[in-house]
Every structure is written in C-alpha cells, then in structure tokens.
Amino acid sequence: MKHLDDHRDPLLERRRLLARLRSSTTRAWTIMDVCGGHTRSRGRLTELLPRDITLLPGPGCPGCALPPETIDKAVAIAARKDVILTGAPELLRLPGGRGDLLGARARGGDVRAVRRPLDAVRIAEGNPDREVVFLAAGFETTAPANARAVLHAKARGLGNFRVLVGHSLVPPAITATLEAPDDRVQAFLAAGQVCAVMGWTEYEPIAARYRVPIVVTGPGPLDLLEGIAAATDQLESGQARVENRYAARESGALAGRDLVGRVFRVTGLSWRGTARRAPGSLRLSEEFAEYDAELRFGELHTTGHSGCIASDILRGTKPPIDCASYGTRCTPRTPLGAPMVSTRGACAAFYTATPRRRSGR
C-alpha cells in the first residue's frame, strides 16, 4: 500500500480530495495548521477549498514563535567583542525591538550563520579565546539536535560554548490559542515531524477537553489536503479525537525524547501568539546551566515592537492583509515581524500565494 501511495498521481488525488470536501461539507468550519511545512505548502490551495472551509496559519515556523525579547537578547550579546553569535540563516533576519542579527553584524558584531548546531560547537572548539553563543529556536523538531550539541560540548569540556534557548512546545501553543477569548479555531492540523519526535499522546487531552479534532499530517500539499479532509470529516460527524495520518508512533522517537528530557526543562515563557506565561517553553536544565547564555551574560534589556500584529495573525484572529504594514513597509525583503521572514511564515506564504493582494488594500 505504501508503494502505491508513493506513486499516486498528485493531480488526480488532489481532484478527488477536493471533490470529497465539496460533497461532504455542510457548514462553515475553521481549521488551523500548526506546521511551517503546511503553511509553505498552501500555495493557491486555499482558493480551491470550498468557501465554507477557512484554513488559518498558526505558529509553525521556527522563528514565528520565538519571543521578540529573545532576539533582543541575541542582538545585545552579539554586540560584545568577545562573542561569536551563531544561528540558523533564517533566524538572523528575525526582527526584534533592537533590529535583527544581520544589523548587529553590519555594526561590527561577529554573527555567523550555521546549518547545524554542531557547527557552532566546532566554532567554539576553533576559537577557545572567544565565547560562542548558539541561538536555539523552533518547536520539538529541532530540540533533539540542539540537546545533542550541548551534550557534545560537555563531553569535549568546552567552557566557551553557550546556548540562548528559544524553544517552544506545540501542545501549549494549541491550548493557548483555544483559551484566547477571541478564539475561532475548530480543528487543528498538527505537524507530523514534531509528532515523529515527541509522539501524539499529549494532544489527546486537548482534543477531549476542548472538543476539537487534531489531525497529525505531513508537510506536503497532498498531506495538507488529506489532513483538511480528515478534520472536516470529524467536524461534520461531531467527533473530536486525535487522528494520526503520518508515519509517527504514538510514543514518538524515544531516543529524541530522552535527549530533550535530559538537557531541557519545561518553563513558562510567553511566545508571540500570547502574552500569558505558562509552561510551554524549554530552558536548559540545572545539569547544563553552565551552557545557558542568559545566565552567563546576566539580565539583558529588551524592547517591544509596535509595527507588527504577529500575535493576532498567529492566533488566527486576523489575516495578514489586516496589518497596516503588510505589503508596504513589511515584505519578505523588508520584514517587520517574524511571520514575514521565512517561507514557512504565515505572512510570507500569504504574500507569495496572493500577489494581487500584496498592498493589503
């Protein structure tokens, strides 16, 4: 069956799923995807869906959930002459109240893009007289690799390697969205890659308590469409359960979960979608506190950013075109907020898919 699925005709499959949705949808439904891959795969798909189905982008991309104050801290650290600040290329463009890390590099900071966290460890090995700080961001998918980097640094006895942690967890992000007073989401598409690491049992209490279907699916266009169809089927039949449509085990990958559980602890840190501080983010555990950049460099001043409505967009209460800066002051080349930076961000994906609506008017 898997062999047949891998060689199915994408066009025919898309037509079949769209026809199924049109014939089975009897009322309006609002579904949110919580995966950067889903957001990037949208393309013009939302225009092909039945009018009664609204697909909202959630906080899926690694940078979208990263609090602006974490970027401010990174920019402040990068200004130090004894520091090399490292991070994934897309994170260097994320704006905070003090600008972004590319701006910090232009002002003389030693800011380097790395593809893997172990690359940052190697930079620390090669520069024993400098402090090397790695900006760790994303949801549970990236956490195991970042945890492994910390373990590698500890095994090598590196005293000049630090991590500025900006990890968020998906289940609390979903819960925060559902508990918002202006929530209108009726079902979620969960990221298959996250569940491949952490499993999907944590979603079951959420589906039961809030009576919302949660469908675990992959990042491709057909995966997205299948997830929408599965969520709509549940909504139409009055069901609310977790449905796994991805190659993920219920318990996830035990090795990855063990890495995350050993190196990190869950803490309460606000993310861009909500102002509340509840258990939903990660920080280095006490065993690895010596690698915590925040502890090493002390209290860092942060500022807000008034030109972006990212929190409203990531909670699904406003579309990107409701932002006064969208398509004018804020574009993929000149982003004011995280959702416009990555191709997995809500605003950037919307901008690419709807060229006639870029002005926001």
Query: Which pLDDT does position 299 carry in this prediction?
Result: 63
157: left (phi over 0), alpha (psi -120 to 50) or beta: left
Angle between helices 143-155 and 117-126 (to 10 degrees): 20
Each residue's pLDDT tens digit, 207-221: 999 999 999 998 888
Q: Fill in the DSSP letter of residue 168.
A: B
Q: Does domain 68-169+252-297 have CATH number 3.40.50.300?
A: no
Same fold, 2-61+173-244 and 68-169+252-297: yes
CB-based burial label for 279 (10 Å; 0-12, 13-18, 19+): middle
User: Do residues 188 and 234 make contact, with C-beta atoms less than 8 angstroms apart?
Assistant: no
208: left (phi over 0), alpha (psi -120 to 50) or beta: alpha
The residue that leads in pLDDT, 317 or 179, is 179
Q: How far apart are CA 134 and CA 152, in angstroms?
A: 13
The residue that leads in pLDDT, 126 or 71, is 126
Q: Which residues of 17-39 are buried (b: 16+ CB within 10 A; e: fewer)?
A: bbeebeeebeeebbbbbbbbbbb
Instruction: Please give the mean pLDDT across all residues of the chain.
Output: 85
CATH architecture type of domain 2-61+173-244: 3-Layer(aba) Sandwich (3.40)
Dihedral sign of CA atoms 63, 61, 54, 356 in order: positive
Could you tell me the residue ranges of all domains in the chain?
2-61+173-244, 68-169+252-297, 310-357
Q: Which tokens is 286 given?
A: 């006490």
Each residue's pLDDT tens digit, 140-175: 889 999 999 999 999 999 999 999 998 888 898 899
What does the longest C-alpha to C-alpha distance in the chain come to?
Answer: 66
Q: How far is CA 142 from the centre of its chain?
A: 10
Which pLDDT band holds residue 3 (cuts at 50, 70, 90)?
Answer: very low
